[in-house]
Amino acid sequence: MIPSLLLTASLLAATPAPDPVADKAVAVCQQFVQVRLGKTAQPEEVKARPVAKRAGEWLVDGQVKGPEGPLLFACLLRHQKSWELLNFSLWAPQELNSA
């Protein structure tokens, strides 16, 4: 019984807590994706991470279902008093030609 409690406690301690700043960065980027698509679309995949050596800057990227297939998106955001969009991209992935 005690070993299973210790295992459970160690697994819970190893699970990272959600970062509220990362969650907000994702929400801000989703707004730009929704405006660009003209509809509400939940991302199929999304990642948010701070930019190394650039305090307050976040990169959010992922994939959303578009009208004719998957679309990739990326937002570069700066967080100070409010969120500022530095760069935004939305594009359809292309298959690589085999050589």
Residue 24 lies in a domain: yes
Q: What CA–CA distance (Å, rounded) separates 74 from 20?
A: 19
Q: What's the domain range around 42?
A: 18-91
**What does the pLDDT look like over 43-58, one tens digit per residue?**
888 999 999 888 889 9
Residue 42 lies in a domain: yes
**What does the pLDDT look like over 56-65, one tens digit per residue?**
899 999 999 8
Residue 98 lies in a domain: no
**The CATH number of the domain where 69 resides is what?**
3.10.450
Average pLDDT on 68-83 reads 90
**Amino acid identity of 6?**
L
With the C-alpha atoms ordered 79, 83, 85, 88, is the resulting torsion angle positive or negative? positive
Specify the 3-state DSSP secondary structure of 76.
strand
Residue 99 lies in a domain: no
Q: Based on the structure, what is the number of domains in the chain?
A: 1
- Maximum C-alpha span of the chain: 58
% of the chain beyond a pLDDT of 90: 42
Residue 64 lies in a domain: yes
Residue 22 lies in a domain: yes
